[in-house]
Copies of this chain bind each other. A is one copy, B any other.
Amino acid sequence: MITLSEENYIKAILTLSLKSLEKVSTNSIASEIGTTAASVSDMLKKLLEKKLINYEKYKGVSLTNKGRVLATTIIRKHRLWETFLVDCLNFDWSEVHIVAEQLEHIQSEKLIDKLDKFLEYPEFDPHGEPIPTKEGIIPNSNAIPLNKLNTFTKGLVMGVTLDEKKFLHYLTKLNISIGTKITIEEKIDFDNSLNIKINDSFHHVSSNVAKHLLIKIIK
């Protein structure tokens, strides 16, 4: 069972992860949530225990795949509820946030699927932010395929353009999922394959893999 408080931390960690390449710091989480570094430190132990984050003392935090899926789901719920509040209930877009912060924690997959359908599968919330899919993918405007990036460009994986079991399985093996940080280390002219850095380890991927990975450039 994941508590409301844990959900808020996981969401904050994703939000911060999307802003920079660095691992997320205890202090940044504290200021994002509006609490103390001590409280964050306590909570990180619990989140590690539940395998929602990767965490070493004094070394910062990143989300595990499980954590990323959870965080994305919460953001999906938040943005769908915001859409409902503005489109159906005629709320002003500026006042929906606090209400959606409560609604995003309602536990019912069925509810959110039915709400999605009722709203006719909106792609963007009232603030223009993309609504993550049921599968945990954050559809992205500024995301471009990995093979179009220049050497030494850094970016975050925002989604994939191929929904094939073997492909997704391969990505998992490479430790690539939504939100994973990738740096282009070298482009090989011969076959358009790439040497890339995934988190802290180096890998080689084919052009065919690269063209199906959507990346948002950061920093």
Contacts and interface: CB of A to CB of B under 8 A. Distances in A.
A73 to B, nearest CB: 16
6 contacts: A89-B118, A90-B114, A91-B110, A91-B114, A99-B106, A99-B108
A153 interface: no
Nearest to A103: B106
Interface in A83-97: 85, 88-91, 95
Interface string A90-130: 11000100110011001110110011011000000000000
Nearest to A89: B114
Contacts of A111: 85, 89, 99
Nearest to A99: B108
Interface in A110-166: 110-111, 114-115, 117-118
Nearest to A113: B89
A110 B102 CA distance: 14
Top 10 A-B pairs, shortest CB-CB distance: A89-B114, A99-B108, A102-B106, A99-B111, A89-B118, A88-B118, A103-B106, A89-B115, A102-B107, A90-B114
Copies in the complex: 2
Interface of A: 85, 88-91, 95, 98-99, 102-103, 106-108, 110-111, 114-115, 117-118
A115 B85 CA distance: 9
Contacts of A90: 114
B114 A108 contact: no
Contacts of A103: 106
Contacts of A114: 89-91
A8 to B, nearest CB: 15
Nearest to A98: B108
A169 to B, nearest CB: 34
A110 B89 CA distance: 10
Contacts of A95: 110
